[in-house]
């Protein structure tokens, strides 16, 4: 979420050495358990529109003489409870070889089957995806599931790092963090976080062969090979990073699945203000692997932001994002949010012009308070996220907060105007309604929510 810009809950799980030999072999393990309870109140307009949709489907079934469909009605309120246990291990042989493995087990419980697909530890209430899918073999899945419960496992890390005279070679499931954006990262389409993610400690692992070449003290060349089962979807990335005049900057060029992405980022200080900027231009290779290749979708995404720390206990930040894949037309929000790029977790949000504002106050050595906002500048609408973080002990951390959406809610009568003949004939009214879903603002359609998360780190 936006508040992670200011207080990064990125404590690595407490590591414990199980083995440490004189020959330089070290084995470390770490474990954490986290639970997140999210309770929320659905916008009344959303509840009304789903009831009207159920009525419309019954009318269509009656007119067409088909069996009555089972309609999923949105409850007025609900709750989701998630539990995650994660076990990690790292084996080092002197400075030559390092092997990293991490496996986790996740249990999610929902008050209603409508909410059972939400990723309760990685997203806001309601869920908006799990991050870009960049794996050759999934090595994860559902162990058991019911109407409102699901038990999943995930082998999230499995990588070997080999030290070379000129750099490092990493093979297997790994993570990286590219770009300078705090909330939006246009250049990171491998393992980005959603802007509304509650927990930003663990990125989703992806499969790659990575070669890091040290060219100098502050210069590095990063080369990636991204294997896929479909030959046309194999990818590769080259990223050059250096420092000039106390400003860090990088250039990157890569092929991801069926896209070419050209990126750049910059970060440095102007007096007491920290400045960062990042941008990426995406070009779809339409028809790749099926004949003639043409330029398909192409768009630019970029961010620019600043942070200032007036005192040791106060930090303020602002970030603007331009999403060229998004739109300024609220009637197209539903179409953008249902697109393959958003579903895959590469792009977040439907609005073209977004901003994040945040403030963090260290009230005590063990307690911090945050106020954060995600704003669609066109609607206008916003998601206000107040929260607090409290360290109960060195190994137990608690976070509590709320989501307060402001803006025009969805049109409650969007489906009430339709009749069975509109659906059966595919009328203009039906096409417009199904495309827009009655959305009138981006964040004004979100649910009111509150959450409580507890993390326990065990060596």
Using only C-alpha atoms, the chain has a radius of gyration, in whole angstroms, of 24
What are the tokens at 204? 């989703």
Bridge partners (DSSP) listed for residue 39: 79, 450
Provide the total of helices (H) and of strands (E) in the chain, helices listed first. Answer: 5, 20
In this prediction, residues 316-336 reach a mean pLDDT of 95
| Per-residue model confidence (pLDDT) at position 120 | 42
What are the tokens at 136? 């050759």
| Three-state DSSP class for residue 406 | strand
Burial class (CB in 10 A: 0-12, 13-18, 19+), 399: buried
295 vs 284: CA distance, rounded Å? 6
| Three-state DSSP class for residue 83 | strand
User: Mind listing the pLDDT tens digit for each residue in 337-362?
Assistant: 888 888 878 888 899 999 999 999 99
260 vs 254: CA distance, rounded Å? 6
| Per-residue model confidence (pLDDT) at position 346 | 85
2-458 folds as: Porin (2.40.160)
* Residue ranges covered by each domain of the chain: 2-458
64 vs 43: CA distance, rounded Å? 32
For the four alpha carbons of 50, 410, 114 and 156, in that order, the dihedral sign comes to positive
User: Mind listing the pLDDT tens digit for each residue in 188-244?
Assistant: 988 888 888 877 888 889 999 999 999 988 999 999 999 999 999 999 999 999 999
447 vs 449: CA distance, rounded Å? 6
User: Given pLDDT bands bounded at 50, 70 and 90, which one contains residue 2?
Assistant: very low
User: Given pLDDT bands bounded at 50, 70 and 90, which one contains residue 71?
Assistant: low
Rounded to the nearest integer, the mean pLDDT of the chain is 87
| Per-residue model confidence (pLDDT) at position 358 | 93
Provide the whole-model pTM. 0.88
| Per-residue model confidence (pLDDT) at position 3 | 37
């Amino acid at each position: 979420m936006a508040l992670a810009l200011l207080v990064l809950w990125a404590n690595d799980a407490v590591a414990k050495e199980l083995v440490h030999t004189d020959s330089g072999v070290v084995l470390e393990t770490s474990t954490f358990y986290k639970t997140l309870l999210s309770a929320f109140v659905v916008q009344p307009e959303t509840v009304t529109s789903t009831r009207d949709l159920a009525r419309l489907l019954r009318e269509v079934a009656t007119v067409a003489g088909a069996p009555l469909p089972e309609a999923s009605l949105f409850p007025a309120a609900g709750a989701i409870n998630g539990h995650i246990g994660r076990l990690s291990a790292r084996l080092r042989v002197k400075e030559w070889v390092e092997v990293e493995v991490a496996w986790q087990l996740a249990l999610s419980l929902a008050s209603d089957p409508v909410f059972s697909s939400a990723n309760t530890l990685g997203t806001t209430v309601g869920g908006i995806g799990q991050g870009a899918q960049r794996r050759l073999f999934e090595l994860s899945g559902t162990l058991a599931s019911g109407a409102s419960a699901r038990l999943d496992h995930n082998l999230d890390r499995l990588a070997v790092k080999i030290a070379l005279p000129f750099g490092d070679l990493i093979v297997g499931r790994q993570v990286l963090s590219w770009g300078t954006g705090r909330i939006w990262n246009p250049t990171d389409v491998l393992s980005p976080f959603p802007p509304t993610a509650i927990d930003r400690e663990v990125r989703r692992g992806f499969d790659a062969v990575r070669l890091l070449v040290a060219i100098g003290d502050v210069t590095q060349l990063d080369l990636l090979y991204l294997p896929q089962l479909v030959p046309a979807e194999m990818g590769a990335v080259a990223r050059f990073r250096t420092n000039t005049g106390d400003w860090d900057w990088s250039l990157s060029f890569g092929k991801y699945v069926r896209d070419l992405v050209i990126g750049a980022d910059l970060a440095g200080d102007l007096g007491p203000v920290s400045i960062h900027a990042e941008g990426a231009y995406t070009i779809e290779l339409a028809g790749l692997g099926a004949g003639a290749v043409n330029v398909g979708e192409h768009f630019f995404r970029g961010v620019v932001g600043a942070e200032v720390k007036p005192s040791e206990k106060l930090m303020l930040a602002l970030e603007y994002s331009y999403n060229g894949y998004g739109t300024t037309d609220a009637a197209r929000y539903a179409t953008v949010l249902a697109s393959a790029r958003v579903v895959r977790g590469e792009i977040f949000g439907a609005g073209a012009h977004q901003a994040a504002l945040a403030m963090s106050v260290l009230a005590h050595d063990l307690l911090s308070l945050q106020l954060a906002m995600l704003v669609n500048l066109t609607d206008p609408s916003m998601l206000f996220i107040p929260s607090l973080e409290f360290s109960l002990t060195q190994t137990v951390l608690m976070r509590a907060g709320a989501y307060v959406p402001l803006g025009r809610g969805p049109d409650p009568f969007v489906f009430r105007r339709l009749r069975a003949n509109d659906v059966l004939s595919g009328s203009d009214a039906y096409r417009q309604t199904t495309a827009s879903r009655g959305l009138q603002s981006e964040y004004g359609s979100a649910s009111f929510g509150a959450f409580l998360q507890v993390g326990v780190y065990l060596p």
